[in-house]
């Protein structure tokens, strides 16, 4: 933590995680991004270019919070990497010396087939890549992910819930009916 000057969340969902990271590391917490609340979830927008434009419409970096600083940015997750890449670019354009990107979720390496329209494995930035490769792909100097076991522990501690559906992180599908053939079929029949 010695080379990090400030911890910043991506509003709004990563704010609780960023606050705890800053507290635990003893580093200043700052709000460095303004959020346009009239733009929806960018990771589920129908095309790559639309997602990229959506991120630029949704977030704006405040240069006074970034100029000359080594920033640790916390986001709730990294799915395709589009949002993360744009955020890192915004931080650099606002004057950040270095950008450490942190995901409050583990790497999303597998498609989610139980409701939310998660992309095919080919579209997931973490699928088949090591963390340094993902960092390079999103343009970050460093990349930190939450560990699956740590996330499970944090969610289950003191909860009546005894198990979690974690297929997008582990590739283990709880129904047991999700086969490689089914995943191929989904991928072939899903538009990006």
**What is d(CA 96, CA 92) in angstroms, rounded to the nearest whole number?**
5
Convert the pLDDT of each residue in 22-76 to its tens digit: 999 999 999 999 887 655 554 544 555 665 555 666 789 999 999 999 999 999 9
Closest by Cα among 82, 75, 78 to 47: 82
28-29 and 6-9 beta bridge pairing:
parallel
* 3-class state of residue 135 by DSSP: helix
Q: How far is CA 32 from CA 9, 44, 90, 126, 158, in A?
A: 8, 24, 10, 26, 33
Which stretch of 4-13, 20-29, 171-180 has the lowest confidence by average pLDDT? Answer: 171-180
Question: What share of the chain in percent tops pLDDT 90?
Answer: 59
The total of other beta-carbon atoms located within 10 Å of residue 19's CB is 14
pLDDT band of residue 192 (cuts 50, 70, 90) is very low
Query: In this predicted model, which residue has the larger pLDDT, 70 or 174?
Result: 70
Is residue 156 assigned to a domain? yes
Owning domain of residue 171: 6-189
Asked whether residue 23 is assigned to any structural domain, the reply reads yes
Asked if the model's pLDDT at residue 173 lies above 80, the reply is yes
Residue 119 pLDDT > 80: no
107 pLDDT tier (thresholds 50, 70, 90): very high
Half-sphere exposure of 131 (CA within 13 A, CB side): 13
Contact residues for 158 (Cβ-Cβ < 8 A; gap 6+):
none
pLDDT at 189 over 70: yes
- 128 inside domain: yes
Report in angstroms the alpha-carbon separations of 54 from 7, 57, 87, 119, 161.
24, 5, 12, 17, 35
- Element containing residue 131 per DSSP (H, E): helix 131-138
Please write the tens of the pLDDT for every residue from 19-29: 999 999 999 99
Q: Residue 13 pLDDT more than 70?
A: yes
44 within some domain? yes
Task: Give the chain's domain count.
Answer: 1
Q: Mean per-residue pLDDT for 132-161? A: 95
Report yes or no on 1 lying in a domain: no
Report the CATH number at residue 120. 3.40.50.2020
């Amino acid at each position: 933590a010695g080379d990090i000057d400030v911890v910043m969340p991506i509003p709004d969902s990563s704010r609780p995680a960023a606050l705890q990271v800053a507290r635990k590391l003893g580093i200043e917490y700052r709000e460095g991004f303004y959020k346009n609340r009239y733009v929806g979830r960018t990771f589920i927008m129908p095309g790559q270019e639309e997602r990229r434009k959506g991120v630029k419409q949704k977030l704006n970096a405040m240069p006074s919070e970034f100029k000359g600083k080594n920033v640790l940015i916390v986001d709730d997750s990294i799915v395709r990497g589009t949002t993360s890449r744009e955020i890192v670019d915004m931080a650099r354009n606002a004057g950040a010396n270095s950008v450490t990107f942190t995901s409050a979720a583990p790497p999303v390496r597998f498609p989610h087939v139980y409701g939310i329209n998660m992309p095919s494995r080919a579209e997931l930035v973490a699928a088949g890549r090591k963390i340094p490769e993902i960092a390079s792909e999103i343009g970050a100097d460093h990349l930190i992910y939450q560990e699956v076991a740590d996330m499970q522990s944090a969610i289950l501690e003191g909860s009546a819930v005894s198990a979690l559906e974690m297929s997008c992180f582990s590739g283990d599908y709880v129904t047991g009916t999700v086969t490689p053939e089914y995943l191929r079929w989904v991928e072939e029949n899903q538009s990006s």
